[in-house]
Amino acid sequence: MTLLINPNRFKTDFDALAEIGSTGDGGVNRPALSAAHLEARRWFLQRAQEAGLETRVDNAGNHSAILQSPTSNARTLLLGSHTDSVPNGGRFDGALGLLAALEVLRAVKDAGLRLPVHLEAIDFTDEEGTLVGLLGSSALAGALSAEALRNPRGGRAALEEGMARAGLAEAGLLDARRDPQSLAGYLELHIEQGPRLIQSAVKIGVVTGIVGIQSYRLAYHGQANHAGTTPMETRVDASLGASAFILTARELVMREYPGCVVNVGQMSFKPGAFNIIPGAAEFALEFRSPEVKQFADLERALLSLAQFIARQYRLELTLEPAGACTPAPMSLTTRAAIAAAAESLGLSHIAIPSGAGHDAQSLAPLTDAGMIFVPSRDGVSHSPLEFTEWEDCVNGANVLLRAALKMAESG
């Protein structure tokens, strides 16, 4: 079998999608369910229809192109990624994997291959978490809770506005589960978003597992007061708690939690003026670990650190969870299929973990899930500077094609 994807068609699509929500500096701004994101999804369905593929949009807004198998009762091999982006993100994150999936379906169709599985290229809703995070894939997995929708990372109002724009309903989101028995597996091509492949000059990453990610909204409450007349000794300054937490949490993770990361990506002081001591400091905390027990230990350690700092600075602490997904190992079957595919193409490969979240972690408890990484220049992602050589993108798409054919063999 010497089947390969069509690199020119793939590039034409890649460049066209990068225009939708383009920020003019190589990046895209397509937050989930924004006007630009919805336009990208319409464009994807149109490209699928032009290729003679079936299309489908489910209750969670996941957009699919489908190449039906002639076999009765065939299962479905999902190949996916996402068209949403972080605010001012890069043009490769998500788009590459989805367009490679579409290209795989077209290559198989053009070659007239009759596979014993349906192939479905799926664009999952809100992978990035500007609203909820892994929204479409967790809905498909039957793992989405009403609670997760009540208090999402991006705030309830943004979720409601996005759902209204996209014509989605909460009841539908909670009822988008697919029968795991109907699935033959899930494969996703993605840029690595880190430096390991580039640094080791290896072409393909076979992902071993995906980190767990947990988010909290925290706030320290002190006493707003006059910034000029209140002596330094008597201030109850909420900004000190937040600042101390950021610095100490970093030290704690670097000292005691190897392989883990912590991030405070948003902060605001209230009331928020030059001449008022902050009465409150609100901030968005996220932390990640590749391993279940370590993930739980890290959560306990960070939350007790937050309490300790509150006492130290005479502040009150409030916190609310804002979403979580657990660490997910990738299946040995998919890892073997991806490694064999890379070898059949003469591409070097190594096993690597993913520090980024991906829809594959929603699918992993249900079906064989696996991911293929290609090198990211300078390891940069979630930035307009995100870049992967086109040759590497084509390599990744061909590995996806061959790994899919391998997975399809077992029906």
DSSP 88-144: TEESSTTHHHHHHHHHHHHHHHHTT---SEEEEEEE-TT-S-SSSSSHHHHHHTT--
Q: Using the rule CB under 6 A, is 123 a contact of ligand GLV?
A: no
Binding residues with ligand GLV: total (CB under 6 A): 4
Residue 94 sits in the site that holds Mn ion (CB under 5 A) = yes
- Let me know: does 185 contact 368? Beta carbons within 8 Å: yes
Instruction: Choose among 96, 78, 35, 17: nearest CA to 389.
Output: 96
356 binds ligand GLV per the rule CB under 6 A: yes
Residues 129-188 that bind ligand GLV (CB under 6 A): 129
**Which residue from 154, 162, 357, 396 is in contact with ligand GLV, where contact means CB under 6 A?**
357
| Interaction of residue 359 with Mn ion, rule CB under 5 A | no
Other CB atoms within a 10 A radius of the CB of residue 128 amount to 26
20 scored as a contact of ligand GLV (CB under 6 A): no
**Degrees, nearest 5: CA angle 134-136-142:** 95
Based on the shown chain and the rule CB under 6 A, indicate whether residue 128 belongs to the binding site for ligand GLV.
yes
156-166 helix and 35-50 helix, angle to the nearest 10 degrees: 40
Binding mask 72-111 for ligand GLV (x = CB under 6 A): ----------------------------------------
> Which CB sits closer to ligand GLV, 84 or 120?
84
**Which member of 13, 58, 84, 93 binds Mn ion (CB under 5 A)?**
93
CB of 135 to Mn ion, least distance (A): 13
Please name the helix (run of DSSP H) or strand (run of DSSP E) that holds residue 329, with its range, or none.
Answer: strand 328-329
What residues numbered 266-295 form the site for ligand GLV, per CB under 6 A?
A: none
- Region class of 66: left (phi > 0), else alpha (psi between -120 and 50), else beta: beta
For residue 140, the minimal CB distance to Mn ion (Å) is 16
CB 53 within 8 A of CB 79: no
Comparison of 94 and 209: residue with beta carbon closer to Mn ion: 94
Residue 288 token pair: 């990640």
End-to-end CA distance of the chain: 18
Q: Which does 357 bind (CB under 5 to 8 A by kind): Mn ion, ligand GLV, none?
A: ligand GLV
| Choices 64-72, 93-101, 318-326, 366-374 (CB under 5 A): range interacting with Mn ion | 93-101
* Residue 172: strand, helix, or coil: helix
Instruction: Candidates 89-97, 135-143, 259-267, 341-349: pick the segment binding Mn ion (CB under 5 A).
Output: 89-97
CA distances from 73 to 118, 183, 184, 392, 411 (A): 10, 11, 12, 36, 10
**Nearer CB in complex with Mn ion: 93/368:** 93
Residue number, 123 or 237, with CB nearest to Mn ion = 123
Binding site residues, Mn ion, CB under 5 A: 93-94
List residues near ligand GLV by CB under 6 A: 128-129, 356-357
